[in-house]
Structure 1
């Protein structure tokens, strides 16, 4: 074949961005909400609720999720113009132009299983158990460039598609918090010590893709080089190999959900530190650093270090045109044969697997903020949050107005600049019904109105049980 134009289908595009409504960090609208005990999630010294006892129960005390990306679904698929005004169009060029050199989409989920907070005269003590999960996918713009242009512009060249990074984890967190007023009531300091038990992890150290095209277009050579760590309910002993010691399958029949959720072999530690300083009766400053720590995955690990290449020379369908001929070959058989060739070329050998331990650091968050109290029931706030992990750094700046109405209804409105997204209007509401408090917080209400244009969406909702509250 003289000219192979790469036609890696449109399905790949849609798959790549169909989860593009995807995360930053905990809701920044939440931190200065009046009457909300969850403020200590972002600063262990900050307590916006005065209750003597706070209790959270599984399934009742809420959930948090967020999704974010460096692009929106609308960048790829949107309504057309002119004669296509009533149709959806696939805008590959527009999507490509919206990308940075490195792009990612992220997702977080957390569910509290138990929480107990007890207030003393000058101190606050808390215990919390939470399930947490995160997934992140990062890719380079060069990959989309190749999918858009094909290999024709790169004849006789080696084109680097960049690195793909997939990182994910699930762990249980046991947090022990303590805060105390010092220097009268002008300064409060707090800390949390967290014991972590890792359940699952995927860590990509390297996943590089390159494409080499013959000068005359007669072949295309795809090369991969990957180093990946995995920990989960399936161990290295469950991987099956053929007689030549090449990977064939993974046995998942012995997965025990109870053992997965209760295993404690992958242990880690993390810390939160925070402080709140009251400069004047109206002006308060706060700062914290959250999730400084890591998890050591030592049990049920799979490490893969694999490099391979696949030479694509096209498929000859010349014998698949006339079924009446004796040398007729079914085109499906030809495609199956090529898929088998692809599979065999990317089939890892047993020697490329091992079960070494590895560490995974938690994404660290740094919060710096301040409030101005107009009166006892209304304040204005500004909060900056830096989200940092091994490959991504994101900054969020939030301005908020916070009110407590009638000592039973808390209302916060916010405006946030999150990464490259500057149109995020947030809302937090909390309603006190006796000792119960119902709440809902989101940093981007605009996403509900037009999800296709959103690069970020999050929500925290649930119920608190508050006893001995002072107004």
Structure 2
């Protein structure tokens, strides 16, 4: 249990979904190729500024917010906790995603007269944690079992997974003709840390006892799979600071081919059925990681019956003390529940992501010299609709986004989005991309209406980065 608590704490430290509706098809930015390898590219080459070319932080809770529990509104904390417990169900979830691009780049290839292919590559680190609200666990913890005689609590409500990985990738984007562009990206995953507990079953039942007041029945089939952290626990150290340094050094070794490995790929396309209409689609992270190194799985299986420990609290003080009573309960539970630790290999599948969009462009730039439109210029405005889905262990997580893109100046463009998803129906996002010389800087944020009080937000996301692009195509 000590090890399990550590892994949950370690991953929660990253607490700052993978939906990137602002970045998707924002083709002024090279990182849009990561969400659609078939996005259109209009530059000869680019290089991301190492460690700052793409920084992404994203966290969400579908059924509650920090404000619901800790608002200074005169409501008793126990009442706020009760409201949260009963307002959520087992399909509500919490999700955290973080990405840091370590390096990236790309360049056009093909015949000198028509470089119609673009080769892109890079390495990024990603943290992804997703867990469902364990409804029956929460109700049992809040109410206890005294008033729930005969109620069966579903212990299969425990469903969580998380990973810390690095991804080395190479993609090829091909412009087939004016209508079609398609792309493919291959990926090698290096798992740094991983935990998974998604196929749990079990029940807990309290009935009237025979030898004691209550009879507790457990029917358990629980498993918690981990890789990459057991060796961290066992590091020799001369104190916390020494352990921290050794742990960081060990994690760095796993960033590139140093941990458990896997393979995956992305596919995408852009299609223009007519000049001003665009249809896009992509699928990301069709892949897996096979865990063979530093693997530990904790299992708890079997049917158990527990009638409690009869207290011997005499009035004369010569019997069992309260401390001894609780120590006996602890020892009884340790003897009753046999937590097995095994080192069997396992495979974790990536969470696949789907994107699709349809959009319409309009409004070409007007030339002052002749008061006419520039025939060779691109359209300044674009409106459209985007859909998104990510596969999760119980059900897909989906979102729908309406967006408006505008080229404000030759060096500045912006995108505004409205998104409806599991977190919010009032998610307004804003992204800007600037090109000063050949330097590209972009900044994007979601759920802006909640920024005046982030504690009330069910969801928050920010993305930013710097690239060097040469040459930037004139619009």
TM-score for both structures, normalised by structure 2 = 0.81
423, 433, 436: which one pairs with 1:433?
Answer: 436
Offset at residue 314 of structure 1 (A): 6.7
1:373 paired residue number: 361
Alpha carbons of 1:97 and 1:374: their partners in 2 closer, same or farther (altered >3 Å)? farther
1:245 paired residue number: none
Offset at residue 154 of structure 1 (A): 2.9
1:142 paired residue number: 136
**Structure 1 residue 54 and structure 2 residue 27: aligned?**
no
**What is the CA–CA distance in structure 2 between the aligned matches of 1:113 and 1:43, rounded to whole Å?**
19
Contact 1:22 1:68 in 2 (8 A): no
Alpha carbons of 1:442 and 1:392: their partners in 2 closer, same or farther (altered >3 Å)? farther
**What is the CA–CA distance in structure 1 between the aligned matches of 2:215 and 2:91, rounded to whole Å?**
25
Alpha carbons of 1:153 and 1:415: their partners in 2 closer, same or farther (altered >3 Å)? same
2:306 paired residue number: 311
Contact 1:23 1:456 in 2 (8 A): no
256, 267, 289: which one pairs with 2:261?
Answer: 267
Secondary structure of 1:36's counterpart equals: coil
Unaligned runs of 5+ in 1: 1-14, 240-250
Offset at residue 272 of structure 1 (A): 0.7
* Residues 216-235 of structure 1 mapped to structure 2, 5 A cutoff: 218-219=213-214, 221=216, 223=218, 224-234=220-230
Alpha carbons of 1:161 and 1:370: their partners in 2 closer, same or farther (altered >3 Å)? same
**What is the CA–CA distance in structure 2 between the aligned matches of 1:335 and 1:24, rounded to whole Å?**
42
**Structure 1 residue 189 and structure 2 residue 192: aligned?**
no
Secondary structure of 1:451's counterpart equals: helix
**What is the CA–CA distance in structure 1 between the aligned matches of 2:440 and 2:289, rounded to whole Å?**
34
**Structure 1 residue 416 and structure 2 residue 446: aligned?**
no
Which stretch has the larger CA shift, 298-307 or 110-119?
298-307
Secondary structure of 1:299's counterpart equals: coil
**Structure 1 residue 466 and structure 2 residue 464: aligned?**
no
Which stretch has the larger CA shift, 53-62 or 208-217?
208-217
Alpha carbons of 1:90 and 1:446: their partners in 2 closer, same or farther (altered >3 Å)? farther
Offset at residue 187 of structure 1 (A): 0.7
* Residues 284-295 of structure 1 mapped to structure 2, 5 A cutoff: 284-295=278-289
Offset at residue 286 of structure 1 (A): 0.6
180, 194, 198: which one pairs with 2:191?
Answer: 198
Offset at residue 360 of structure 1 (A): 0.8
Alpha carbons of 1:261 and 1:37: their partners in 2 closer, same or farther (altered >3 Å)? closer
**What is the CA–CA distance in structure 2 between the aligned matches of 1:220 and 1:58, rounded to whole Å?**
61
TM-score for both structures, normalised by structure 1 = 0.81
Contact 1:157 1:215 in 2 (8 A): no
Contact 2:262 2:290 in 1 (8 A): yes
**What is the CA–CA distance in structure 2 between the aligned matches of 1:395 and 1:51, rounded to whole Å?**
32
**What is the CA–CA distance in structure 2 between the aligned matches of 1:417 and 1:237, rounded to whole Å?**
42
Contact 2:185 2:265 in 1 (8 A): yes
**What is the CA–CA distance in structure 2 between the aligned matches of 1:237 and 1:430, rounded to whole Å?**
44
Which stretch has the larger CA shift, 216-225 or 459-468?
216-225
**What is the CA–CA distance in structure 2 between the aligned matches of 1:185 and 1:253, rounded to whole Å?**
54
29, 35, 38: which one pairs with 1:42?
Answer: 35
Contact 1:75 1:95 in 2 (8 A): no
* Aligned residue-pair number: 431
Contact 1:236 1:302 in 2 (8 A): no
Secondary structure of 2:31's counterpart equals: helix
391, 394, 399: which one pairs with 1:391?
Answer: 394
- 1:216-267 deviation line (CA, Å, top 9, x unaligned): 681352634312321104359969xxxxxxxxxxx99985344333444522
Contact 2:445 2:463 in 1 (8 A): yes
**What is the CA–CA distance in structure 1 between the aligned matches of 2:291 and 2:171, rounded to whole Å?**
25
204, 211, 219: which one pairs with 1:211?
Answer: 204
154, 161, 165: which one pairs with 1:167?
Answer: 161
2:172 paired residue number: 178
2:89 paired residue number: 100
Offset at residue 75 of structure 1 (A): 7.6
**Structure 1 residue 362 and structure 2 residue 365: aligned?**
no
Alpha carbons of 1:464 and 1:89: their partners in 2 closer, same or farther (altered >3 Å)? farther
Of structures 1 and 2, the one with the larger relative CO (CA 8 A, separation 6+) is 1
- 1:55-92 deviation line (CA, Å, top 9, x unaligned): 113322131121122212258426587xx37x767324
**What is the CA–CA distance in structure 2 between the aligned matches of 1:115 and 1:397, rounded to whole Å?**
29
Offset at residue 167 of structure 1 (A): 0.9
Alpha carbons of 1:22 and 1:222: their partners in 2 closer, same or farther (altered >3 Å)? farther
1:31 paired residue number: 24
- 1:32-59 deviation line (CA, Å, top 9, x unaligned): 4352222112111113x62221111332
Contact 2:88 2:133 in 1 (8 A): no
- 1:289-347 deviation line (CA, Å, top 9, x unaligned): 1111111112221123322657363784845x8xxx65376644544454444445445
- 1:5-53 deviation line (CA, Å, top 9, x unaligned): xxxxxxxxxx99xx8x989223111124352222112111113x62221
1:152 paired residue number: 146
